[in-house]
């Protein structure tokens, strides 16, 4: 099903949702092809399939809606209710209706907001912010995975 096709076919699948479910499963496992970089490689690295056991806990994702990078917004629970934005997320959960809870990932040293595109945002030290948003995965047509990282500690 394409991004623009609003019809739902009974046996149709959502490839973005399927990949994000795999990421959630892999991330949950570690808490208690031929590509050097990509979703499959990042999932394998997270699970430790390709390396010795590690402290990786997150596959950062970049999502696209109508072929444009999706940027999420959320507010910190501080006195100023500081609003942060990011193109990069940790998938925390996905329900049976393909609604996902995404946690905003940011480099703590990056104080800039409003980047015009994801290539401008700092990604060297992405960390979980504790700010979560809920999205409908039916709205996305593309997912890009960054290499697995340790974002929770």
Tell me the C-alpha distance between 143 and 80, whole Å: 33
pLDDT at 33: 38
Question: How long a stretch of residues is the chain?
Answer: 153
pLDDT at 48: 83
Question: What does the pLDDT profile of the chain (153 residues) look like in tens digits?
Answer: 444 455 444 556 678 888 888 998 888 887 653 567 788 888 888 888 766 567 899 999 999 998 899 999 999 888 888 899 999 999 999 999 999 999 999 999 998 999 999 999 999 999 999 999 999 999 999 999 999 999 998
pTM for the full model?
Answer: 0.78
Using CB atoms within 10 Å of the CB of residue 34, give its burial: 0 to 12 exposed, 13 to 18 middle, 19+ buried. exposed
Cβ–Cβ < 8 Å for 16, 63: yes
State the residue for tokens 């945002």: 121
Two structure tokens written together for 84: 């942060």
pLDDT at 86: 97
Tell me the C-alpha distance between 81 and 102, whole Å: 19
Cβ–Cβ < 8 Å for 66, 98: no
């Amino acid at each position: 099903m394409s991004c623009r096709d609003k019809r739902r076919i009974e046996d149709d699948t959502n490839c973005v949702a399927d990949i994000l479910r795999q990421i959630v499963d892999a991330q949950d496992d570690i808490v208690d092809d031929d590509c050097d970089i990509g979703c499959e490689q990042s999932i394998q690295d997270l699970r430790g399939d390709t390396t010795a056991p590690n402290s990786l806990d997150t596959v950062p994702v970049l999502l696209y809606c109508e072929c444009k990078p999706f940027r999420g917004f959320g507010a910190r629970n501080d006195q100023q209710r500081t609003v942060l934005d990011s193109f990069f997320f940790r998938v925390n959960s996905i329900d049976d209706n393909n609604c996902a809870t995404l946690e905003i990932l940011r480099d703590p040293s990056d104080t800039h907001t409003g980047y015009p595109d994801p290539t401008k945002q700092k990604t060297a030290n992405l960390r979980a912010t504790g700010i979560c948003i809920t999205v409908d995965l039916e709205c996305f047509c593309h997912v890009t995975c960054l290499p697995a990282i340790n974002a929770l500690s």
